[in-house]
Chains A and B, each alone.
Chain A
């Protein structure tokens, strides 16, 4: 069975811009994955940017996939991106109904999987401009995206 995604529309996602400055510095003694997830749990989206070559990467890694440098640095991205592709997964109404799975290209040049919330009709179009938000539930905090108007 596929784990049900947490109900996205019944919760109020926290605005990305408001959340991102609230948290203490993440524990840098941990590896990149825990560092990233810990920041995310606290409402801050972090992205790795290599201090050598200047390129971004996702998911977080213990090296720079572009130039092999060690210890890529961290930045807080704009949170803005564009829907690259979208699929609506069919699910029975009693299990929560259909939900979308999207790939979002962040303006910094990395791609990640997420949901688009606050979009009428479930299936957001490819090219939709979106902004990162945080969605909290008893299972934790996760990154989702909300439309910011317009297609690219």
Chain B
């Protein structure tokens, strides 16, 4: 069994809006393993996105402790947290959030240039990760010239090129059709396997359940079940372009 890279201990989070006090996460304890695609699924409003934000260091819990790659995130100030994210975490969001002015290669190179990599090395890594998501021939195109699935693959390449230990994906397939969603989840799965990356994916999309190594079902700020889906439903196919 692979090592535990992400650890949450007694994490609670609540939001107050006027007189209404809403507890989103109830004393949650959780371990996520490296080299696996872990899927957190549940209905909207169950707190899964908040959990992702806290595990990835984008938000702080009200109480409890989060340890990522042996680093207690609660000990880091804002600047150190940014630095930690720069070095160790990648993100893929539901919206692709690509700069309209940049082509695919530049989108991927952009965060790399802040890592302090030499331009040649940044270029090499950007090309490699675009090729890994199957966009090698289309890396000169701008977002307006790419399909939704291709845009999400650029977003994945952008996160992957940093060679992060942790990769977080929030509803990465919900804006895509079935075929493209399939491709995206396969890529994420492959990244976990081949790079040993901890891939944590949050989704309410039931199609993804069969592709995950581990599925955590969440409801009302609590984890209801923690299971390994049956291997029969795990896809064997690699990366294939939809014919559409």
- Say if A and B assemble together: no
Residues of B within 8 A of A (CB): none
Residues of A within 8 A of B (CB): none
